[in-house]
Structure 1
Amino acid sequence: MPDRRAIVAGLLATAAFPVASQGARLHKAMSTIVPFKASPFPYRGKLPDGSAPFLDVTAADGRRGHTSPRGGIYWEDETYSDRSTLLAVPKGFDPAKPVVIVVFFHGNGATLQRDVVGRQRVVAQVEASGLNAVLVAPQFASNAQDSSAGNFWTPEFFAKFMAEAAQGLARLTGAKAAKFDAMPVVLVAYSGGYNPAAFVLRNGDIDGRLLGVILLDAVFDDADIFANWIARHRKSFFVSAYGKASASGNAEIRQLLTGQGIVPSSDPPRRLDAGTIALLASDAAHDSFVIRAFVGNPLQWLLARLHGFQR
């Protein structure tokens, strides 16, 4: 079920901060968790290969569910019905300056308020990076061992999601939705967020706006999709920091790229420039990787190296 307490808390937080006048610099951080129409779930379609419906189980009482390879059967009403998306804007955000949208895809067993905001401090890391950025983070399978992308498997659906995010950010900040519609995007995925990230890249919904990709211990599959995207988008950056959990997937990316004459760096980048490709090994634990990887607060560290968007 949707995290109703998180939604209510987000709405109250929004009410506490008056919407900024158009073009005004924000004096307080703003965040909210709101339901989206164009959300990853509920999803009533088929698996990406078309082999079976996503909801492949029906109980005697009519409840429908999905069989996850890792988690077993999850019921739609408990796991795949949360339409929530987190929108966050840091203190000092100035819509009159160049802005970047950071889109964050969470991993397995997560909810937005408890994990993305609380445990992983994603909102705090984006703010501490110094970027003139806004954060958008959708809820996927709620608190479940499932990496399914749901509606994000469908071509052009992610573009609809981003259009709705632009409307929400406009209401939150007072800037025009058209401005957010045209902003460049950095896509970040942790752990099980690899699957929706891979399909966003494969479908190419926002290719013209995508500055680059940051993966945090996330290449558990779809290495070929990531490698192909890197090879076809040499003016974008790609950084994958990883531990033992996703080492094999990152090794596959390196092998695929090397076969095409592309040699990724193994060193942390000084800047996230166009064409930066780095695969960064770490001994850090998987469960805390978003806050402790090759450096502490790796998302903050990497975003701070994206030039041209300082607050």
Structure 2
Amino acid sequence: MDESDFVGALVPGHPWPRIEVLRHGPFPCPGVEGPDGVFGDARTLLHVTPRFDPARPFVAIAFLHGWCATLTRRIGGHRYHVVESYRLIEQVDAAGLNAVVVAPQLARDADTAIAAMPGHPGGFAVPGAFARYLDEALTQIAQRRGDGVDAYRRAPLLLMSFSGGYRAAAKVLTVGGVADRLIGFIGLDTIYGETDAFAAWFAAHHRHAFIAAVYTGGREHAHASAGVTQALARSLGALGLAGVRVSDTLPRRLRAGVAAFRHVGDPSLHLDLVADGWPRFDRPVRRLLARVAGFGGV
């Protein structure tokens, strides 16, 4: 079903997840143009987990999708959908966290055959822009639930990125205006560049944040993220950050000071990595989020 102007709840009779238009999303963005509305969709996916309680510690999860993606089939797109293909909401709910979720529409259903830079960060490249976006998104959630907004404005933030979402992620980490709230970054085969930005963020904030990235490929796969991710791991190791041990395994708990970079297999895994994971590690969003300490993970 393609409802090009769809907003509202995705499941009749249930308030979450839902699609809303936000004023402060990454697109549309002055000076960034593409065919067929590629850079013109202002919608965001919003969600709260089952049994969510804002009186308890909770985390705001921001998810940045990859190329060729649309938030949901309800608003079109020919290839990948954050809700249905990535199974993002299903996995977040299964993780058992007390959490809210925001996922902006980045370039809409685009690859390099459609746009020169499908991973363009849009408005998120403007200093402080992501903070304004997050405040608007969380305020919408609070108001729809009938909650006060103060707890939402103080909530810790966890950033997740898949594939081509890395450019937007780098801007969020470095100029997003949310550094004091960020407790971690989870990368799913996503570090294809911007290593200086990721390294600078973690070096400055490792005392209260973690970085955990999984990647595919190897020396024979020049197009995969392996080489760049491994270079980032080496650069962090060379910094000698106090209390940080750069690891090639995923720890049982993702907490401040963790820097984990895990090779998970061949690039053939990439396209379905978010939904299917890798051998002996299915539903990776669920399993990684459940390792985040402090928010009721199972």
TM-score of Structure 1 vs Structure 2, range by shorter chain: 0.7 to 0.9
CA contact (8 A) 2:130 2:176 kept: no
In the alignment, structure 1 residue 43 sits paired with structure 2 residue 43 = no
The percentage of counterpart residues that share the same residue type is 38
Runs of at least 5 residues in structure 2 that lack an aligned partner in the other structure: 74-80, 112-117, 218-223
Q: Distance in 1 between matches of 2:264 and 2:65?
A: 20
Alpha-carbon offset, residue 204 of structure 1? 4.6
Provide the residue aligned with 2:216 in structure 1: 243
Provide the residue aligned with 1:279 in structure 2: 261
In the alignment, structure 1 residue 259 sits paired with structure 2 residue 238 = yes
Q: Distance in 1 between matches of 2:239 and 2:176?
A: 21
Alpha-carbon offset, residue 16 of structure 1? 2.4
Q: Distance in 2 between matches of 1:160 and 1:181?
A: 11
In the alignment, structure 1 residue 168 sits paired with structure 2 residue 148 = no
In the alignment, structure 1 residue 203 sits paired with structure 2 residue 172 = no
Aligned partner of 2:17 among 10, 31, 50: 31
String of CA shifts for 1:160-209, please: whole Å, max 9, x gaps: 10110121111332221222111001000000110000011111510111
Provide the residue aligned with 1:154 in structure 2: 126
String of CA shifts for 1:230-286, please: whole Å, max 9, x gaps: 111112110001111210111110121122125411111110111111001011511
Q: Distance in 2 between matches of 1:174 and 1:300?
A: 28
Aligned residues: 269
CA contact (8 A) 1:283 1:293 kept: no
Provide the residue aligned with 1:84 in structure 2: 43
Provide the residue aligned with 2:101 in structure 1: 135
Q: Which amino acid counterpart does residue 105 of structure 2 have in structure 1?
A: Q
TM-score (normalizing by structure 1): 0.82
In the alignment, structure 1 residue 304 sits paired with structure 2 residue 290 = yes
Alpha-carbon offset, residue 5 of structure 1? 5.3
Runs of at least 5 residues in structure 1 that lack an aligned partner in the other structure: 19-29, 46-53, 55-64, 66-73
CA RMSD across the alignment: 1.8
Q: Which amino acid counterpart does residue 288 of structure 1 have in structure 2?
A: D
Alignment of 1:5-154 (within 5 A): 7-8=6-7, 10-11=8-9, 13=11, 16-17=13-14, 30-45=16-31, 54=32, 65=33, 74-75=34-35, 77-114=36-73, 115-145=81-111, 146-154=118-126
Secondary structure at the aligned position of 1:238 is classed as strand
Structure 1 window deviating more from structure 2 (205-214 vs 252-261): it is: 252-261
Secondary structure at the aligned position of 1:289 is classed as helix
Q: Which amino acid counterpart does residue 202 of structure 2 have in structure 1?
A: I
Alpha-carbon offset, residue 6 of structure 1? 7.7
Q: Which amino acid counterpart does residue 242 of structure 1 have in structure 2?
A: Y
TM-score (normalizing by structure 2): 0.85
Q: Distance in 2 between matches of 1:6 and 1:303?
A: 32
Secondary structure at the aligned position of 2:56 is classed as coil
User: Which consecutive segments of 4 or more residues in structure 1 shift more than 4 A?
Assistant: none
CA contact (8 A) 2:129 2:176 kept: no
Q: Distance in 2 between matches of 1:86 and 1:264?
A: 33
Q: Which amino acid counterpart does residue 259 of structure 1 have in structure 2?
A: A
CA contact (8 A) 1:85 1:137 kept: yes
Secondary structure at the aligned position of 2:196 is classed as helix
Provide the residue aligned with 1:21 in structure 2: none
Which has the larger Rg?
A: 1
